Structure 1
């Protein structure tokens, strides 16, 4: 199990470097003579057609609705594995990062609303700073090498996984357009069918993915954001079978390189290209970007650390081995890296009809995530032993 976690951590860390490169390239293209080429690439129309099924979207939406569903499929697989036999298995193991994640979602949302709660339009972005970008956070942590104890890495992993699950629930509850009950009904039937397959011990991953595709299409057509399909499919794929092999782990290992090296970098490239043309100083210092940046830089560590401290002092949970509160605080600052996940929510909160708000929200995310990365790395460098 430890080898699986180490392999995962190494993969996500290297993927984080590619994420940074993709984001920098996107920012460069969006603010250069190549801006039209960049926008034309994102607007490439792609049509998927089978019989009467017709899905036509620009490349940007295929990335956000389609490829991100695969990312959340991987998240679903990770959450299930960790709950059954990993770092979240058992009450004591699950409660500490779960409580920390709750604080890490509540505090940033509250701080954001302190800045933007009075404006009906910008209020919609309250969930933007609630997310943590697991790939970037692990990538920054990996820069410290073997000075980082494995238990601290697992804590960050567990916290980020629960955080991602919370974001999925937020998306389903608060960022869903008009609901199509027919499509929603088909999605429910597909989900029940997947659950029955799991209960009956079906171990053919291809069957789960086939029904999962039907689930994704029906959720997409229902008006609920299609990424929810990914985590549902992940929960239904069996971890162990009578043949003693693991369809879940096989799929998880197969998806990791695609997600780390293609899907997330492509998502970063498609969404991080914020044009600074027309951006004014007054707009940059307006309540929207300031609220997001403050929520990520201050709200995230405040919520995670306070909730963690209370859970330990009240005896509800225990600190993981070899970890002290100074380490928890350092990681909580690192969790302010919202980047791709926060940009994802921003694209839902402020669509193309609110282009200026979308732009300033992304600038706030980039500012908050960058400061959190630098501060988190600096704190870990100071508080961790010289060599673990």
Structure 2
């Protein structure tokens, strides 16, 4: 996702105002992600209610129901299809977002990319370190070190939508870019640390199929009836190779062209992302949440989250590690690159957004399943820890953001103000001479209207004061 794109200079600003194209792109992405985040939140609540009600057995039977062609190695449970199949759509969109960032967004400029990359890396390293310290000190398993490293941008934006905070676009874009870089490293973690024994024949078939996919794109071949069957073949081969199947989605997303050619209003990557993002945010991720978040929650279970070293490590990693890591990475980057924080914001604002990144959920749940595969009890406990940590992070961030909500609303209203009604916010036209001529004309007409009203009012007053 896009983030603030400051022009490299001696007085470069951290979290300064976005360029107009980036602002528009962020606004469009946020609308879909926010709606998807609300659906994700509802799906998680539905899963918890379903799994903790008298219908618990029906939840487990649906989640564990197997279907698919066994001859192709795809006789999977519904929960497995959601984690490996539907999340491939989510990671496909993440791959397109990453490709766009690399060729047309913030990550294209190394100097502008330093901030989100360093912040995201610190925001993954510190939670992993917190988990390792807590779990090793308590004699727990270190297998879950990667669980608290992920950020769920859809859930974070859903929290923003619920609490009604009008964050300025620079802070929202910073959060979105963090999530893109976070997704990239989460993908690498899954590929490197959670890959089973490799089936080289299936892996070779997946690589060849990806090469065909790339050649078709390069030749400009169009048609969903070509790419969807090919994508299913790539996914199936990747799954059978032993590498997590979501990697197939990322690989295909990265192959799409995200730069515009002459005469194009949108690049192929932008068009496909626009079509697939609603499917990802509105269907794939909520369904994954429905079949992954259904863990048994009781007073004892919540208490155990804070007493077992593995689960306590996850909670502290999300709540403390994420906030400290991202904030520290941002501050260090600004300190050593001699960049200044935008005068419209304060460092507590950065810490509040950093706390919001502690909402792990989707990818954290996925990594939790992979890390403790085979231990159903610990898997459920870690899921409960992810839910607990994400909830605490959401409440903490919401409280911190509410404290400054009046300031954010003023910044947001200033960004949206369009007095000349030309469809472009006035803050982006302040250096345009034509804008100042239009505004002068508007102010003159308003002044004339005020004078006319004053004259009418004065005339009415004289008539009322006259003889009866």
- Output the TM-score relative to the length of structure 2: 0.77
Give the whole-Å Cα distance in 2 for the aligned partners of 1:69 and 1:170.
15
Q: Secondary structure at the match of 2:142?
A: helix
**Conserved? CA contact 1:129–1:342, under 8 Å:** yes
Q: Which residue of 2 aligns with 1:267?
A: 288
Of the candidates 360, 373, 383, which is equivalent to residue 394 of structure 2? 373
CA shift at 1:10, angstroms? 1.5
| 1:56 and 2:75 are equivalent in the alignment | yes
CA shift at 1:281, angstroms? 3.9
CA shift at 1:100, angstroms? 0.4
- Distance change >3 Å, CA 60–CA 316, structure 1 → 2: farther
- The C-alpha deviation readout for 1:39-89, integer Å capped at 9, x for no partner, is 11112222147xx63521111100001000011001111111222223433
CA shift at 1:308, angstroms? 1.2
Q: Which residue of 1 aligns with 2:359?
A: 337
The structure with the largest alpha-carbon Rg is 2
Give the whole-Å Cα distance in 2 for the aligned partners of 1:128 and 1:64.
15
**Conserved? CA contact 1:151–1:323, under 8 Å:** no
Give the whole-Å Cα distance in 2 for the aligned partners of 1:185 and 1:293.
39
1:32-181 to structure 2, matched below 5 A, reads: 32-48=53-69, 53=72, 55-117=74-136, 122-143=141-162, 145=164, 147-181=166-200
Give the whole-Å Cα distance in 2 for the aligned partners of 1:54 and 1:289.
33
Give the whole-Å Cα distance in 2 for the aligned partners of 1:3 and 1:63.
32
Q: 5+ residue gaps in structure 1?
A: none
- The C-alpha deviation readout for 1:162-194, integer Å capped at 9, x for no partner, is 101110100000011111111112222233333
| 1:212 and 2:235 are equivalent in the alignment | no
Give the whole-Å Cα distance in 2 for the aligned partners of 1:4 and 1:151.
12
| 1:26 and 2:47 are equivalent in the alignment | yes
CA shift at 1:254, angstroms? 1.0
Q: What's the C-alpha RMSD, in Å, of the aligned pairs? A: 2.4
Give the whole-Å Cα distance in 1 for the aligned partners of 2:342 and 2:209.
39
Q: Secondary structure at the match of 2:158?
A: helix
Give the whole-Å Cα distance in 2 for the aligned partners of 1:266 and 1:300.
26
**Conserved? CA contact 1:175–1:349, under 8 Å:** yes
Q: Decide which moves more: 314-323 or 127-136.
A: 314-323
CA shift at 1:201, angstroms? 4.7
- Distance change >3 Å, CA 120–CA 208, structure 1 → 2: farther
- Distance change >3 Å, CA 207–CA 5, structure 1 → 2: farther
Q: 5+ residue gaps in structure 2?
A: 1-20, 412-468
- Distance change >3 Å, CA 46–CA 161, structure 1 → 2: same
Q: Secondary structure at the match of 1:122?
A: coil
**Conserved? CA contact 1:88–1:158, under 8 Å:** no
How many residue pairs get aligned? The number is 385
Give the whole-Å Cα distance in 2 for the aligned partners of 1:328 and 1:160.
15
Of the candidates 348, 367, 371, which is equivalent to residue 326 of structure 1? 348
- Output the TM-score relative to the length of structure 1: 0.92
| 1:387 and 2:387 are equivalent in the alignment | no
